[in-house]
Amino acid sequence: RAERAAREIRAELGERAEAEGGGELVVRELDLASLRSVRAFCHRILQEESRLDVLINNAGIFQCPYMKTEDGFEMQFGVNHLGHFLLTNLLLGLIKNSAPSRIVVVSSKLYKYGEINFEDLNSEISYNKSFCYSRSKLANILFARELARRLEGTGVTVNSLHPGIVRTNLGRYVNIPLLAKPLFNLVSWAFFKTPLEGAQTSIYLASSPDVEGVSGKYFGDCKEEELLPKAMDDLVARKLWDISEVMVGLLK
């Protein structure tokens, strides 16, 4: 799918990109459900790239049945939070050397229904697919907040966002009764955002001069939004950071 998207972009830009001395579009394999894959990806990027101006942490998995990653983490927490946590930390030196630079973390409004339960982060005591998704999205915001604090004065900004409800295959694990599917399809076409519309806030935070120097904030529809107190709890954010470092092997 990535190669197909790359071909479409190259065809769309075509001669214009060459005439303007445009850059190179490359596809690199990365599996956020595998810390081994994350490390291999980052190793290659650090070998091949001299700059990293923008990192957008966008990938995710939504309300899947109970599964574990290659490293034994609950899938949603492992992919949505821990995979991005390791990825960002391994690339952080290059990002800082490229300052002014930006990190964008895609979360979800559903963070509101999540709680960080340090006694069962891996959902081995109990598992609820909706709650675990919300927890992973709350973790995204807390991660972005703590990272922004740590990067103060470096020229690197970190912001999180919710994209809204977007028509993608993110909901592939959601079971919709056969009889209800025509109605659901109608509703999704009428009210859900297209992928291009859903990407606008990420693009805004990655490139707009309006948010130059803005860090540690949360956005929706290209505007700053208020967070619930639990998403601004700096003590929880620091504890989550410390535990995540151990879980992904950055600290022994």
Distance CA 139, CA 237 (A): 8
In a domain, 94, yes or no: yes
Distance CA 78, CA 85 (A): 9
So which residues are the catalytic ones? 133
In a domain, 66, yes or no: yes
Distance CA 108, CA 141 (A): 9
User: What's the predicted TM-score (pTM) here?
Assistant: 0.90
Question: pLDDT for 62-76, tens place per residue?
Answer: 889 999 999 999 999
Please state the domain count of the chain. 1
pLDDT exceeds cutoff 80 at 82: yes
Is residue 142 within 8 Å of 237, Cβ to Cβ?
yes
Mean of per-residue pLDDT scores for the chain = 91
**Strand, helix or coil at 90?**
helix
In a domain, 43, yes or no: no
Distance CA 110, CA 107 (A): 8
In a domain, 178, yes or no: yes
Number of Cβ within a 10 Å radius of residue 34: 17
Q: For the chain, what is the radius of gyration of the CA atoms?
A: 19
Q: What is the CATH number of the domain that holds 70?
A: 3.40.50.720
Determine the residue type at 115. E
In a domain, 33, yes or no: no
Phi, psi of 214 (to 5 degrees): -80, 130
pLDDT exceeds cutoff 90 at 246: yes
Question: pLDDT for 108-159, tens place per residue?
Answer: 999 999 999 999 999 999 999 999 999 999 999 999 999 999 999 999 999 9
Residue span of the structural domain in which 244 resides:
53-248
In a domain, 4, yes or no: no
